[in-house]
Amino acid sequence: MCLLAQACRHRQHLSHKFELAKIGQSTEHNYCGVNCGIMDQFASVFGKKDHLMRLDCRSLEHQYYPFDAKGYKLVLIDSRVKHELVDSPYNKRRESCERVAATLGVETLRDASMEMLEANRDKISDEDYKRAVYVIGEKQRVLDVCDALERGDFETVGKCMYETHNGLSKDYEVSCVELDYLNDIARECGVTGSRIMGGGFGGCTINLVKDELYDKFIATACEKFNEKYGHEPKVYEVIISDGARRL
């Protein structure tokens, strides 16, 4: 009976956390006017110290992967470009994906493949095609990163980060010149991985940096960014911690 009661309390606790994440998403939809997914809200509630999480945004099934990156640091570089997702083309990106999914006869692009996309290329506008190329390609990158984390292969993790940034910049077009410049600086400094963090149209890059390169990278990024844009970016070391909880 004791074990049964504990299991029931655990299920109730999980149910409460799921509800909190859904309330957060609903607020974005109905109050902020951003037709977002549930990833950010889910991560805020279900985050786990020193772990990354793979989330199925449809079923809400999730799996944790240890992030034991000895010899590396994670750091956010904030461009200080404010992003306004409501007035930005954010919702238009989702509309593009929905149009392509309808053309391919699937519920969402997570059910589509590159082969399906290419077979219907003549039915899809150039803009919608680029959006779909990014989304479908990103599905595989997520799986590749998960495999690499299990092997402790952070070079592959970093390579995928750069590929994601390129897709977000060139195909999904949610970057900005300041974020692309920070990404370029990271490449020049030999940073293992760098990509947009968050909704895009401003904000930050997240960077996976070897310890011995960290100080030079930060100094170079601040100096070059200030020279080009008249202000230094903000720098935040990343600590992966547990999600929101009652203390």
Nearest-angstrom CA–CA distance, 150 and 162? 20
Count structural domains, the chain. Answer: 1
Cβ-contact 236, 109 below 8 angstroms: no
| Residue 19 belongs to some domain of the structure | yes
Of these residues, 40, 78, 111, 144, which one is catalytic?
Answer: 40
pTM for this prediction = 0.85
- Bridge-based pairing state of the strands 204-210 and 72-78: antiparallel
| Residue 216 belongs to some domain of the structure | no
The 10s digit of each residue's pLDDT in 110-165 is: 999 999 999 999 999 999 999 999 999 999 999 999 999 999 999 999 999 999 99
Nearest-angstrom CA–CA distance, 218 and 233? 10
Cβ-contact 53, 76 below 8 angstroms: no
Looking at residue 26, its amino acid is: S
Structural domain range at position 31: 1-66
Establish whether 184 is a catalytic residue.
no
| Residue 16 belongs to some domain of the structure | yes
Residue 90 has pLDDT above 90, yes or no: no
137-141, 216-220, 241-245: least confidently modelled range: 241-245
| Residue 22 belongs to some domain of the structure | yes
Residue 193 pLDDT class (50, 70, 90 cuts)? very high
| Residue 17 belongs to some domain of the structure | yes
Q: What is the dihedral of CA 93, 99, 104, 106, to 10 degrees?
A: 80
